[in-house]
Amino acid sequence: MDKKTKVIVCVAAAHILLSMMAMIIHSRKRKRNARRTGITYAPMHERDRTRIEYLNTKIWRDDTCINMIRMKRACFFHLTKHFRERGLLQDTIHMCVEQQVAMFLNTVGHNLRNRLIGTNFGRSGETVSRCFNKVLRAIGELRGELIRPPSLDTPTKIAGNYRWDPYFKDCIGAIDGTHVRATVPRDMEHAFRGRKSYATQNVMAAVDFDLRFTYVLAGWEGTAHDANVLRDALERVDGLRVPQGNSFTYLLVNDNVYGIMTIIYIYILYYHCILGKFYLVDAGYGAKPGFLPPFRGVRYHLNEWGNNPVQNEKELFNLRHSSLRVTVERAFGSLKRRFKILDDASPFFPFPTQVDIVVACCIIHNWVIQDGSDEFIIQDSNWPSNSHATSLVGQASEHAAMVALRQGIADQMWTDHQNYNGN
């Protein structure tokens, strides 16, 4: 090959190389321009309008609002307004606070999966998950505001009612535990599978007589005994607190002096209310300062009048104790009726999130209660009274002061009952 031919070949090769480079650069530029023109919000206005229309059709009528998000329209808007005013949730470019809260309530109200929520609201699964956690944290910030210690005044339900006043005038609520379905790693299931055939978490709560949760402790294993859960609640820095009286009475009763002196101590305990306030609890918690259980081993399903009437002071005490303590069972029943995530199939969230969901549901329950009752609140007249037995397994130890107080109340209650029948 001569020199001229070599020059021609080199020029041709350079031309081809330059042409290929130009084509590559042009192709990349076209792709870059295509991506830039694709990032536009104009087509999303119609989608946002569709999403708002879907939400409006569900929440602007009380019946569809209750069916979808488990609360009335006014209560829902008051809640979203509160989130805005507190700065806990904010509107975004394509999602308002109402949509965020509605997706959360729809999830916990019906135990729906993110995929279904995303389909209904026109959102991706990632958006649904992110909004769920954001709303869950916002609700958790309301815990100190909505789950508050009970009033120390005599409850309205007790005051003036001959069955409970004055015997329980220092009672500030009732405490019980309930089991909520849980999903945990397989190697931990044995600790969470107690009385149920499936894994559960043991949730202890205190409720006042207006069905408001005043304390909630969630996250214990399903096999945990109620007395252990209560002990943990009392030992926590921000745990359960019960206003008590002075130590003079405890000193007297703990001397274990019997006979005529015991009657004097009961008189001091009951008529002067030195022990202070107390909660009604199941027998499994045991009698201790601030916690008053029924008598153990005493029959239940009794009637104060008519068929199968009470025969002694212990049966009468247990009957009235049960009819008053049923408030906490009504609260749990109402909670699980409203939020199916607590009672349906096993949840699909990590266990720490499951614990937070239980507390969040109690907070929302309290919000609904303060905004007025609805169909999910079980009325007292519709709840079967005396429907629970007195457990005799794994009983906690009992404190002499509360045992004496219980006996004193039962004796006075029986005396008044007989005097009324005699007249």
Is 6 among the domain residues?
no
My answer on whether 389 and 312 are in the same domain is: yes
Q: Is the pLDDT of residue 127 over 60?
A: yes
My answer on whether 110 and 178 are in the same domain is: no
Is 373 among the domain residues?
yes
User: Per-residue pLDDT averaged across 268-273, rounded?
Assistant: 44
pLDDT at 216: 97
**Of 161, 417, 409, 159, whose CA–CA distance to 292 is shortest?**
409
Q: Which domain holds residue 397?
A: 171-422
My answer on whether 179 and 136 are in the same domain is: no
Residue with tokens 């321009």: 33
My answer on whether 250 and 385 are in the same domain is: yes
Is 223 among the domain residues?
yes
Is 252 among the domain residues?
yes
My answer on whether 96 and 195 are in the same domain is: no
- Is residue 5 within a helix (H) or strand (E), and if so which, with residue range? helix 3-38
The region of weakest confidence among 64-78, 95-109, 149-163, 231-245 is 231-245
Q: What is the DSSP annotation of 40-65?
A: -STTHHHHHHHHHHHHHHHHSSHHHH
141, 157, 185 — which closes off a domain? 141
Per the DSSP assignment, residues forming a β-bridge with 280 are 174, 292
141, 160, 185 — which closes off a domain? 141
Residue type, 253: V
Structure tokens at 27: 């192709």
Residue with tokens 């999830």: 107
Condensed to tens digits (0 to 9), the pLDDT of residues 373-392 reads 777 887 776 666 554 444 44
My answer on whether 186 and 334 are in the same domain is: yes
- Is residue 224 within a helix (H) or strand (E), and if so which, with residue range? none
My answer on whether 231 and 285 are in the same domain is: yes
Of residues 134 and 5, more confidence is placed in: 134
pLDDT at 197: 80
| pLDDT over 90, % of the chain | 41
Euclidean distance between CA atoms 215 and 331, whole angstroms: 12
My answer on whether 290 and 363 are in the same domain is: yes
Residue with tokens 């990032």: 39
CB 371 within 8 A of CB 74: yes
DSSP 381: G
**Cβ-based neighbour number of residue 34 at 10 Å:** 9
Is 165 among the domain residues?
no
Residue type, 134: K
Tally of domains within the chain = 2
My answer on whether 266 and 180 are in the same domain is: yes
pLDDT at 306: 60
My answer on whether 133 and 175 are in the same domain is: no
In SS3 terms, 285-345 reads as HCCECCEECCCCCCCCCCECCCCCECCCHHHHHHHHHHHHHHHHHHHHHHHHHHCHHHCCC
141, 163, 191 — which closes off a domain? 141
pLDDT at 16: 84
Average predicted confidence (pLDDT) for the chain: 82
User: Per-residue pLDDT averaged across 96-124, rounded?
Assistant: 92
Structure tokens at 171: 């009672």
My answer on whether 93 and 184 are in the same domain is: no
CB 73 within 8 A of CB 61: yes
**Cβ-based neighbour number of residue 296 at 10 Å:** 16
Q: Which residues contact 280 (CB under 8 A, 6 or more apart)?
A: 168, 171, 173, 174, 175, 292, 293, 321, 324, 325
The region of weakest confidence among 91-105, 233-247, 326-340 is 233-247
The region of weakest confidence among 173-177, 200-204, 390-394, 410-414 is 390-394
How many Cα neighbours within 13 Å face the side chain of 144? 2
Is 26 among the domain residues?
no
Structure tokens at 179: 């089991």
Condensed to tens digits (0 to 9), the pLDDT of residues 169-184 reads 999 999 999 999 998 8
Is 29 among the domain residues?
no
Residue type, 229: V
Structure tokens at 135: 């709303």
My answer on whether 351 and 294 are in the same domain is: yes
Is 7 among the domain residues?
no
Distances (CA, A) of 300 to 161, 184, 259, 284, 376: 21, 37, 30, 15, 28
264-279 in b/e form (b: 16+ CB < 10 A) is ebbebbbeebbbbbbb
How many Cα neighbours within 13 Å face the side chain of 295? 21
Per the DSSP assignment, residues forming a β-bridge with 217 are 204
